[in-house]
Chains A and B, each alone.
Chain A
Amino acid sequence: MNITVDADKCCGAGQCVLLAPDVFDQNEDDGIVVLLDATPPEALRAAVREAAEVCPAAAITVEERP
């Protein structure tokens, strides 16, 4: 799995951080997403997929790679 985030689209809702705090964080002021781990381990991937789906700005792209 390879994750990319689009900081320009991000609205700072923090939904991704609530779902996968080991993978995503936020800037202090504007709340824009900070990607902590672009290639997370298997155990975190289900949460990452959900985060990408529920992101209210469609700012998270998950590329599934073997």
Chain B
Amino acid sequence: MTVPADVLVVGASAGGLAVAEALRRQGHRGGLTVLGAEPHPPYDRPPLSKQVLRGAWERERAHLRSAEQLGALEAEFILGDAAVRLDVAAREVLTASGRTLRADAVVLATGVTPCRLPGQDGLAGVHVLRTLDDALALREHLLAGPRLVVVGEGVLGAEVAASARGMGLDVTLAGLGPAVLADQLGDRIGGALTRLHAERGVGLRLGAAVRELTGSGGRVTGVRLATGELLPADAVVVAVGARPATGWLAGSGLRVDDGVVCDARCRAAPGVYAVGDVASWHHEGLGRRLRLENRTNAVEQAQVVAAGILGGDRPYVPVPYFWTDQYDVKIQAYGLPSAAAEVEVAEGDPEDGRFVALYREGGAVTGVLGWNMAKAARLRRPLVAGTMTLAAAPAVNVSTRA
């Protein structure tokens, strides 16, 4: 194949930056443009719900690279201008300000957009948390009033609740699931996390649907649950998941189905690739399509996409990984731990607040989780890596090799 002269990366967050850096490191000497909807240089999102929200970091500390490092990339960064249309055949992107950008290869790295609750818009004091500006606005608000209600018991909601407790706020966490992170990590670990939040003084309303946000004079006053209970609030954080930011691809002809549908090499069309939260690609190890919303996926996928643009031909077969920090607990999770798996403690002891747990489905290890035991968890990563990559080699009959 022909190596493209010019590459356009749509999205200037972790995934977009990583594609640009990997292209240069892997030898791309041609044109390189990075288009970002936000006005900020590339910054890191995981600290937004923790260090930035708590005020432990100044905002600049969340920047992923210094101005010098960005300059050394010799890429043109166009920031504060969103992509609004893609012409796949011409590999041409139209932006909100009216620019037309054309390239030989286009990388879609537009991430996700937070879901909102009905009635949320136009009600002051109700926040989502996705961007740096979101985090700073929420922090301002938390400093102004003592009662926070977090809607959503996933990673983001739990981290916001923990950070707000650390700031001394009165926090209630309401969510549909039976336990904190039960959807992601199952009842056993979810139960331990629920106890952790209860011990730290978070009011918990789990298995609870939200009926409505209540307000007065355009400001939020509380969250009404389906049970009728009213949780009074000075501020509300809505952390009920996110959707791939693919609205701008409508009419492009690209297949969009919970993300940009890609092949095993993260290609959506000839010369068009997707990376990060927005990409739904075929994981050859699992034999199915997968979309991951986690930080390490964005940069790992970027390595494969950059190589592919430069003529490489390797599938993207990662071992998924995410971490979450809540209070003094650091959780690391490899593979795909799920609520359906059997969970077994392999090392350490939950009573001591440090352990490694294995997730098994059908006898195979599908996930490894460390609870304040990061290194030991990483050392068991090969257990799940074996499961996810052996399936990629159909010529080998795994069951007869033992």
Contacts and interface: CB of A to CB of B under 8 A. Distances in A.
A31 interface: yes
Given A11-B46, A12-B323, A29-B373, A53 B22 contact: yes
A15 B323 CA distance: 12
A54 B332 contact: no
Contacts of B330: 12, 30-31
A4 to B, nearest CB: 13
A31 B374 contact: yes
Nearest to B374: A31
B372 interface: yes
Contacts of B381: 18
A5 to B, nearest CB: 15
Which residue of A13, A17, A58 has the most chain B CB atoms within 10 A of its CB atom?
A58
Interface string B27-55: 00000000000000000101100000000
A11 B375 contact: no
A29 B354 contact: yes
Contact of B295 (A18, A49, A56): A56
Contacts of A29: 354, 372-375
Q: 5 nearest interchain CB pairs?
A: A31-B374, A14-B378, A12-B374, A56-B295, A54-B299
A54 B18 contact: yes
Interface in A3-57: 9, 11-15, 17-18, 26-31, 49-50, 53-54, 56-57
Which residue of B65, B296, B375, B376 has the most chain A CB atoms within 10 A of its CB atom?
B375
B382 to A, nearest CB: 10
Contact of B25 (A9, A18, A50): A50
B300 interface: yes
Chain B, interface residues (CB within 8 Å), range: 20 to 34
Chain A, interface residues (CB within 8 Å), range: 20 to 34
B378 A31 contact: yes
B332 A31 contact: yes
Contacts of B377: 31
Interface in B311-345: 321, 323, 325, 330, 332
Given A27-B375, A56-B46, A50 B303 contact: yes
B158 to A, nearest CB: 16
A32 to B, nearest CB: 8
B159 to A, nearest CB: 12
A13 B375 contact: no
Contact of B296 (A15, A17, A31, A58): A15
Interface of B: 14, 18, 21-22, 25, 44, 46-47, 61, 64-65, 295-296, 299-300, 303, 321, 323, 325, 330, 332, 354, 370, 372-378, 381
30 contacts: A9-B61, A12-B323, A12-B330, A12-B332, A13-B296, A13-B321, A14-B332, A14-B374, A14-B378, A15-B296, A18-B378, A28-B375, A29-B354, A29-B372, A29-B374, A29-B375, A31-B330, A31-B370, A31-B375, A53-B21, A53-B299, A54-B296, A54-B300, A54-B303, A56-B44, A56-B46, A57-B44, A57-B46, A57-B47, A58-B65
A9 B373 CA distance: 18
A27 B372 CA distance: 11
Contact of A56 (B299, B325, B370, B374): B299
A13 B325 CA distance: 11
B65 A13 contact: no
B18 A53 contact: yes
Nearest to A6: B61
Nearest to A11: B323
